[in-house]
Amino acid sequence: MRFDEMGLAPEVVQAVKELGYEHPTPIQSMAIPIALEGKDVLGKAQTGTGKTAAFMLPTLQRLRGKEGLRALVLCPTRELAIQVYESGRDYARGSELFVGVLYGGTSVEKDLRGLRAGYDVLVATPGRLIDHLERGNVDLSQLEVLVLDEADRMLDMGFRPQINEVIRRCPKVRQTLFFSATMPNDVKSLAYDILRDPVTVEAAPQKTTADGVDQFVYPVQESKKTELLIKLLQRPGMDSVLVFTRTKFGADRVSGQLGRAGIKVEVMHGDRNMQQRVRALDAFRDGEVQVLVATDVAQRGLDVEGISHVINYDAPQDPEGYVHRVGRTARAGAKGEAITFMSGGEMGDVRAVEFLLGYRLPRVELPGFGFGSATEETIYTPELKQPRGKRSGRMGARSGAALTPEQLQELLNVS
């Protein structure tokens, strides 16, 4: 299906054309026609699948010719809110509709100026929205479309009371579009409470990583991780590298070490204030810095085009987190590489990831860095000059390869 075959208005089709979108992504093909019929949608999709257009395009279409606040998109974090707002503004370019955004950490005065000018579509984080609702600055009584984006993340962050409060202030008759990367019970229960006869659409089977991502595990002694990181960052093609650490302290330490090694780096975590985060993200996005070191704050919702590599400096403790981290690369069809450092203490974490994925990740070990975890399948790399993709068939277990029954048994035994 093409964008112009979905029943979308010409100006909406034109807006996506101008953005260079040639074909709808799977979630768009599935969700847009349903949403255009006015039905509720329960979408299982993570960021990177094109879900923003999946809910924004039919919403803009529905609001054509109307005035006043008719659509609200709730997002868990400022980063995601900004990103959804920016996409929404792009999609609304040819229409007369105004898209606005509210998030904490900025001046309320600025919010008020925007609100007075009048938004048709409002993107907001729950906390700041509630502030404005309580002060009477935002009126949801005319709302026609409510979107919950990354609902699982919102619940993880403890926003259920705020969501309830928002729902209480929305008209009962409305269209609700609900998106979540995962569907644990609390998310299902929220969906059940607020959706009416929803149509479920799923972007890709849950628990798989984005296509086009080459994935590797590097066994490495804990004390040598930074040295290995610096070595890898010197490889050609390491243009835009997102590095995840487990803790804020770790993020600061690693970014300091990279900085001292002459690598251009920014850092992003929960202790950084709004301005610092925006600055870090802009510098990374604009290519002023090669590396962004982040904690899981940035795990989802971070939409930076052209991330060439994701490096898990620390293996994710939560296997689902791995999928989200790796989803930061290879967005919308680009090729990417995900590297996970595995110290002796992290072997269990990596196995848990492999169990979730259903396949074994290939190991790459550099002489002098490993800790004796090598197996027959380990690829030894005496030097790192050659990009891995060109190496010929020495890989016992490619990413994406199915597990043999023996491998699966092995994983089951240790997990």
DSSP structural state of residue 366: -
- Any contact of residue 82 with ligand AMP (CB under 6 A)? no
Structure tokens at 344: 């002796």
- List, in order, residues 6 or more apart from 39 with CB less than 8 Å away: 175, 197, 198, 199
Question: At closest approach, how far in Å is the CB of 259 from ligand AMP?
Answer: 29
| The one among 25, 61, 125, 215 contacting ligand AMP by CB under 6 A | 25
Question: At closest approach, how far in Å is the CB of 106 from ligand AMP?
Answer: 22
- CB nearer to ligand AMP: give 24 or 321: 24
- Any contact of residue 303 with ligand AMP (CB under 6 A)? yes
Amino acid at site 392: S
Amino acid at site 331: R
- CB nearer to ligand AMP: give 51 or 324: 51
- CB nearer to ligand AMP: give 157 or 204: 204
Q: Quick one: which segment of 49-57, 58-66, 99-107, 279-287 binds ligand AMP (CB under 6 A)?
A: 49-57
| The one among 6, 31, 33, 51 contacting ligand AMP by CB under 6 A | 51
Nearest CA-CA partner of 397 in 354, 335, 333, 345? 354
Q: Quick one: which segment of 17-25, 265-273, 284-292, 340-348 binds ligand AMP (CB under 6 A)?
A: 17-25
Contacts of ligand AMP in 203-242 (CB under 6 A): none
- Any contact of residue 29 with ligand AMP (CB under 6 A)? no
Measured from the Cβ of residue 1, the count of other Cβ atoms closer than 10 Å reads: 12
Q: Quick one: which segment of 51-59, 117-125, 248-256, 382-390 binds ligand AMP (CB under 6 A)?
A: 51-59
Question: At closest approach, how far in Å is the CB of 8 from ligand AMP?
Answer: 12
Q: Quick one: which segment of 23-31, 99-107, 191-199, 292-300 binds ligand AMP (CB under 6 A)?
A: 23-31
Beta bridge partners of 268: 294
- CB nearer to ligand AMP: give 267 or 304: 304
Structure tokens at 143: 């709302």
What span, in angstroms and rounded, lies between the C-alpha atoms of 161 and 171?
18
Question: At closest approach, how far in Å is the CB of 388 from ligand AMP?
Answer: 25
Task: Give φ, ψ of 85 to 5 degrees.
Answer: -60, -45
| The one among 13, 32, 35, 53 contacting ligand AMP by CB under 6 A | 53
Contact track, ligand AMP, 328-367, x by CB under 6 A = ---xx-----------------------------------
- Any contact of residue 76 with ligand AMP (CB under 6 A)? no
- Any contact of residue 52 with ligand AMP (CB under 6 A)? yes
- Any contact of residue 49 with ligand AMP (CB under 6 A)? yes
- Residue located via tokens 């659409």: 201
Measured from the Cβ of residue 333, the count of other Cβ atoms closer than 10 Å reads: 10
Cα angle: 201, vertex 205, 210; to 5 degrees: 110
- Any contact of residue 327 with ligand AMP (CB under 6 A)? no
Q: Quick one: which segment of 43-51, 130-138, 178-186, 320-328 binds ligand AMP (CB under 6 A)?
A: 43-51
Question: At closest approach, how far in Å is the CB of 87 from ligand AMP?
Answer: 6
What stretch of H or E contains 217?
strand 213-219
What stretch of H or E contains 178?
strand 175-180
**3-class secondary-structure state, position 72:** strand
What span, in angstroms and rounded, lies between the C-alpha atoms of 22 and 181?
24
| The one among 6, 8, 24, 148 contacting ligand AMP by CB under 6 A | 24
What span, in angstroms and rounded, lies between the C-alpha atoms of 25 and 283?
29
What span, in angstroms and rounded, lies between the C-alpha atoms of 276 and 292?
13
What span, in angstroms and rounded, lies between the C-alpha atoms of 112 and 217?
49
What stretch of H or E contains 214?
strand 213-219
State the residues that interact with ligand AMP by CB under 6 A: 21, 23-25, 28, 47-53, 87, 303, 305, 331-332
